[in-house]
Amino acid sequence: MVNFQLRLDAESVEHAFPSDSLTVDPHTTVREVFLLLKDSNAGHVLVGQTDQIQGIFTERDALKLMAGGADLQIPVADVMSRDPVTLHIDDTVGKAITSMSHGGYRRLPIVDGASTPRGALKASGILHYLVQHFPAVIYNLPPQPHHKTQEREGA
């Protein structure tokens, strides 16, 4: 377990399979963002100019809007999550896990030293990272590792 902890605090988020991010202008309508997400098979867009992030709009935001019957012709800037928590490209996987866990985030934008967006880290990227480092543990566990039967099994 110690080696694993050391790796989490040493490897950058680039090792956790970050994805590219789409960026849209704040005046883009929610309907246009929905179409972009669908056509790109993406779960989020960054909102802002190409060199600065003003917000993020995720599939969770989309579900909330649809459940509330919102007008889809409004600008995405009206419904995005403003000033999202970001990761620096040199931040560690451990820091990313902590930020995601404490904030309840499934996606965090990654920025470089000039705060220019460089992609996003998704929870699935973290999971893939863990599977890559511990394939024997992940692939060999039964669905319920400590299952106790009510009755004795056998002939």
Indicate the pLDDT class of residue 139, thresholds 50, 70 and 90: low
Tokens representing 82? 């403003």
CA distance 141 to 144: 8
Record: fold of 2-140: CBS-domain (3.10.580)
Q: Report the pLDDT value the prediction gives residue 69, as an integer from 0 to 100.
A: 87
CB contact at 8 A, 116 and 49: no
Indicate the pLDDT class of residue 144, thresholds 50, 70 and 90: low
Indicate the pLDDT class of residue 142, thresholds 50, 70 and 90: low
Average pLDDT for the chain? 88
Q: Express each pLDDT in 42-74 by its tens digit.
A: 999 999 986 889 999 999 999 999 898 889 999
Q: Is the pLDDT of residue 2 over 50?
A: no
